[in-house]
Structure 1
Amino acid sequence: MKKSQRIKKNKEFQTVFKKGKSFANRQFIVYTYKKEDQQEFRIGLSVSKKVGNAVTRNRIKRYIRQSFLEMNDEIKPDLDYVIIARNQAATLDFHTAKKNLRHVLKIAKVFK
């Protein structure tokens, strides 16, 4: 995943939280915010310390990034996404995490 596809700044996170729409399942909360002039989607990740230690949190973030990379062609490019991992996400393996992420993105109607 390219650096240009990541949301890093707090101001950008706050914009997505305030102006975007949220969708959730038991493992993930996804905020989406439409930006008309954008060529490719951007994602921001948030995994709280309550979810687990640093190793667990980084594993969850890797799983989310890899899932987005694999679903790259199916996802609408004119959106910003902020994904928040809930406690149940700590117990997932990659394939289950991808399936649950796909489920919440399907609820959000972000597939082409």
Structure 2
Amino acid sequence: MKKAYRIKKDKDFQAVFKKGKSYANRQFVVYVLKKENQHHFRIGLSVSKKLGNAVKRNEIKRYIRQTFLELEKNLSCENDYVIIARKPAAEMSFYEVKKSLIHVCKIAKILKNDKK
């Protein structure tokens, strides 16, 4: 994922947490913050050490990034997203992660069209 598509600074994470809205299911919490005059969405990931070792945490982050890349055309480009993985995400395959994230996105009404 390109650097321009990532949220890295703590200040940006805190802004999304404080001003954004949260939506959740059992596996993920998604915070959404609308930002005007932004040409593409940005994504921040949070995976706790409680979910497993570094290999497992990085695998979960790869799955989330890949899902958002596949949904890129259906996502609103003026938003910042912070995704927090919960415990059940550690035992999920890529397709289960994708299905769960699409479910949360539908709850949040951030998908432009619900064809996927």
Q: How far off its partner does 1:108 sit?
A: 0.5
Letter in 1 for 2:75: I
- Consecutive aligned runs of 4 or more in structure 1 exceeding 3 Å deviation: none
Q: Residue 90 of structure 1 aligns to a residue in which SS?
A: helix
Gap runs ≥5 in structure 2 = none
Distance 1:101 1:56 in 2: 18
Letter in 2 for 1:66: Q
Give 1:1-112 correspondences, 5 Å limit.
1-112=1-112
Residue-pair matches, total:
112
Gap runs ≥5 in structure 1 = none
Distance 1:51 1:78 in 2: 30
1:56-99 Cα offsets, whole Å, 9 max, x none, are 10000000000000011001000000000000000000000000
1:6-40 Cα offsets, whole Å, 9 max, x none, are 00000000000000000000000000000011000
Letter in 1 for 2:6: R
Distance 2:13 2:24 in 1: 17
- Normalised by the length of structure 2, the TM-score is 0.96
Q: Which has the higher helix share?
A: 2
